[in-house]
Chain A
Amino acid sequence: DTEVTQTPKHLVMGMTNKKSLKCEQHMGHRAMYWYKQKAKKPPELMFVYSYEKLSINESVPSRFSPECPNSSLLNLHLHALQPEDSALYLCASSRRAETNYGYTFGSGTRLTVV
């Protein structure tokens, strides 16, 4: 298995809703990442997990809450989002955070906040 799988593929949520994005990989990678991408812009790093511990938080608002339950799973919990948070949310993984080997992106969750 050489893929990063993200669910759901599309999500529409209201500003008062609570939802979660899920990411899964079975490549034995020990680094996992959340990126946010707006249309026609590059991906922007949000969080890095290294060996299931949060190692980088790029000053992301607290309405985004990451969680890494085990080495294969990464979640992003969403609460009280704003319309400007609408974007493509990409998960990625690599063998280790220190080496960048095998850096692979998932297909993303397209999030719309209404």
Chain B
Amino acid sequence: GENVEQHPSTLSVQEGDSAVIKCTYSDSASNYFPWYKQELGKRPQLIIDIRSNVGEKKDQRIAVTLNKTAKHFSLHITETQPEDSAVYFCAAGTHQGGKLIFGQGTELSVKP
């Protein structure tokens, strides 16, 4: 069935370092790949997304890359700051009715 695997489950970096989170999806029909940041007790917030016709997208310190052949997409955060600490979820969606399949999440900790 549909599945999204996300690694690592926890990630600790020093302030100013880069952080990379990787996801792999199983459904070749997936064509939409959002990333959400969820702080404790709050809603998942969309931070960046990419569609299957694009290989890379960047927004200030955040970038996402997509390799359709390998069914693999990654989130890159540069110059990390303590306020980047949160749980990050990747997800994959298709034209099949708006359903998003989420990865298991990565708990990112940025140490000052």
User: Which single member of A96, A100, A105 contacts B44 (CB below 8 Å)?
Assistant: A105
Q: Does B61 contact A (CB under 8 A)?
A: no
Size category of the B interface is 20 to 34
Q: Does A90 contact B (CB under 8 A)?
A: yes
The answer on a CB contact under 8 Å between A97 and B97 is yes
Q: Does B78 contact A (CB under 8 A)?
A: no
Chain B contact residues, majority secondary structure: strand
The answer on a CB contact under 8 Å between B97 and A103 is no
Q: How distant is the Cα of A42 from the Cα of B103 in the complex, in angstroms?
A: 7
User: Which single member of B43, B97, B100, B107 contacts A55 (CB below 8 Å)?
Assistant: B97
Take A42-B104, A100-B93, A103-B34 as given contacts and tell me if A33 and B43 are in contact as well, using a CB distance cutoff of 8 Å.
Answer: no
Residue numbers of B with Cβ under 8 A of A are 32, 34, 36, 42-46, 87, 89, 91, 93, 95, 97-100, 102-105, 107
Residue numbers of A with Cβ under 8 A of B are 31, 33, 40-45, 48, 50, 55-56, 90, 94, 96-100, 103-108
